[in-house]
Structure 1
Amino acid sequence: MEEVLAKYIPPAAVPTCLELIKKNDVHLKIVNQRVTRHGDYRLLPDGSHQITVNAGANPYRFLITLVHEIAHLVAFKAYGRRIKPHGKEWKRTFTLLMLPFINPRVFPQQLLPLLALHFKNPKASSDTDAKLSVALGQYDPPTDKNYIFEIPLGGVFRLYNGKVFKRGQKRVKRYECVELATGRIYLFNPNAQVEQIN
């Protein structure tokens, strides 16, 4: 397991992650890239705990996702399965589990202030924290995608599912975009990755 983890997370994080996995009896499954999620936790019918994480994630996103999913398991064990999946118990647990990793041996210096801010009140996904998501994206392999905030006003873009939109004005945090086929208005986070159509 140590060799496997070393391929996916920063080397300095391996011992602590390995300890978390063993202590919580986690079956870690690394899967192909999914568009809708970075990872998930499941209590299997036989009582075992399975966590899946996308293989395509950069080491920092992979680590955050792995600890995020382990936090679900730890929070459910500590507080019972009736808690909200991303409620205060999970937030507290996730923050405590992440603290040993938030240091310059694990994360690049430029990510540390964003991580410290994020973990004051962690969101259900690091993707909903636009600043952190964009900063983490700098460590992803190169892609032909753009962020919504990079698309000019009135610019046209396509989603992974083929739907085509025209970018509108920014509201408070998100961008109002019109689906060209239906005329329906959708709100997009600024860090949503899309394919710009010229």
Structure 2
Amino acid sequence: MDKITVLSRYLPPDAAPLIARWIDYFNCEFKVSRSRNSKYGDYRPPYQGKGHRISVNYNLNPYAFLVTTVHEFAHLHTWNEHKFKAKPHGTEWKSNFKRMMRPFFDKEIFPQDVKRAIVGYLENPAASSCTDLTLFRTLRNYDVKKTAEAAMITVEKVKANSLFKMKNGRVFRKEGLIRKRYRCVEVKTGLVYLFNPVAEVFEVE
């Protein structure tokens, strides 16, 4: 099966041909990965005989998959230009991300709310990565949730001092906001963890 056909399963179909060309042009190993809670995508530069490697979580909606893919290719392009001299999400990366996103804007692949969130993210110097909350909240509006996931809410919507449960069954009590993350205490161990506001959990009655 050709790359475009495979990529069309995960990307907006009109975006697949360009991503396929990038994979060939940059001679990149591109992997559709299992779901990872800590990240949506990953880029690894050439190392010990291996070339450029990009992985993107399989369960992202098409717009989130495309944003994450372009994000990682911008890392690749920045590495080719600057190696270790450029910061991971510095001005060089931002410039490449914006330029590499342009063809998808021109094709009007993104809904207007997603496009506005991407532009806002790129213009906001405080947003150092794709964990920009406005962008992620907007992208999640396009998620198609399974029945079991329909009852999930984000940590920011859990009431203070209330309990919530992760998918793996661990139960936490939500406390206060520390900078951009919520301080939460695991009920069983008493250990403190900081949660991303948009992390999805189940309320505990």
TM value normalised by structure 2 = 0.83
Counterparts of 2:93 and 2:180, CA distance in 1: 25
> Is the alpha carbon distance of 1:28 and 1:120 closer, same or farther for their aligned partners in structure 2, counting shifts above 3 Å?
same
Q: Which stretch shifts more, 63-72 or 44-53?
A: 44-53
Aligned position for 1:115 = 118
Aligned position for 2:69 = 66
Gaps of 5+ in 2: none
Contact 1:102 1:116 in 2 (8 A): no
Aligned position for 2:54 = 51
SS class of match (1:119): helix
> Is the alpha carbon distance of 1:173 and 1:36 closer, same or farther for their aligned partners in structure 2, counting shifts above 3 Å?
closer
Q: Does 1:193 align with 2:200?
A: yes
Counterparts of 2:173 and 2:93, CA distance in 1: 37
Q: Which stretch shifts more, 138-147 or 78-87?
A: 78-87
Counterparts of 1:40 and 1:70, CA distance in 2: 10
How far the C-alpha of 1:103 sits from its partner, in A, is 5.3
Aligned position for 1:15 = 17
How far the C-alpha of 1:46 sits from its partner, in A, is 2.0
Counterparts of 1:84 and 1:121, CA distance in 2: 16
Gaps of 5+ in 1: none
Partner amino acid for 2:75?
A: H
Aligned position for 2:39 = 37
> How many pairs are equivalent?
197
Partner amino acid for 1:197?
A: V
> Is the alpha carbon distance of 1:104 and 1:183 closer, same or farther for their aligned partners in structure 2, counting shifts above 3 Å?
farther
Contact 1:104 1:112 in 2 (8 A): no
Instruction: Note the alpha carbon deviations across 1:131-182, whole angstroms, 9 max, x for none.
Output: 2212211222212321012212222012345432212244564433333234
Contact 1:39 1:65 in 2 (8 A): yes
Aligned position for 2:139 = 136
Contact 2:31 2:56 in 1 (8 A): yes
Aligned position for 1:153 = 160
SS class of match (1:53): strand
> Is the alpha carbon distance of 1:176 and 1:103 closer, same or farther for their aligned partners in structure 2, counting shifts above 3 Å?
farther
